[in-house]
Amino acid sequence: MLKIVKNHIMQPLILILNGPNLNLLGTREPEIYGTLTLSDLHASCEKQAQALGLAVQCLQSNHEGQLVDWLHEYRQKAAGVIINPGALTHTSIALLDAIKAVDLPVIEVHLSNIAARESFRHHSYIAPAVKGTITGLGAEGYLFAMKALASLCKA
């Protein structure tokens, strides 16, 4: 009797990193960041990943070094990265260097429109190293970023 072995196709893995204070989404300044919690956000990213045929790993840390370590750890496992570095956007040369070092397509996402806020939020250290930036579209920004990475992975 013929045994049919189904081919196992690996789905491209997208790493989603959220930085400091984003663990408090839902209660943190809801007039700016909305009422969706971080787990709600992760759940909608997982749903979007399924629809796009991607795998996803969602991680959050309040520590710069941890975010750098995750970028290093996933540099050969992930096909692309979505990062919202929180306030580290405006301070972190270490994250800029890590993004340059890992050689992966990275999309920067911000829930709020950083260009429309205080002037110290207008500058992003990581912006020159990312494929693109989505800012001000709330949680949907992550979903748009996943669509963009899905087409980049297929290209």
Positions marked catalytic:
33, 110
* Residue 44 lies near ligand DQA (rule: CB under 6 A): no
Options 24, 51, 87, 115; binder of ligand DQA; rule CB under 6 A: 87
Distances (CA, A) of 46 to 2, 13, 20, 27, 96: 37, 11, 21, 22, 26
Among 11, 46, 97, 121, binds ligand DQA (CB under 6 A): 121
DSSP state of 35: S
For residues 7 to 36, the per-residue mask of contacts with ligand DQA, x marking binding by CB under 6 A and - elsewhere, is --------------x---------------
Question: Which of these segments, 34-42, 61-69, 104-112, 142-150, binds ligand DQA (CB under 6 A)?
Answer: 104-112
Q: Which of 113, 109, 112 is nearest to 147 (CA)?
A: 109
What are the residues facing 13 on neighbouring strands? Answer: 55
The answer to whether 112 contacts ligand DQA (rule: CB under 6 A) is: yes
- C-alpha distances in Å from residue 99, one per residue of 37, 77, 92, 150: 26, 15, 11, 19
How far apart (Å, rounded) are the C-alpha atoms in residues 6 and 138? 40
Question: Does residue 86 interact with ligand DQA by CB under 6 A?
Answer: yes
Q: Which of 48, 79, 110, 125 binds ligand DQA (CB under 6 A)?
A: 110
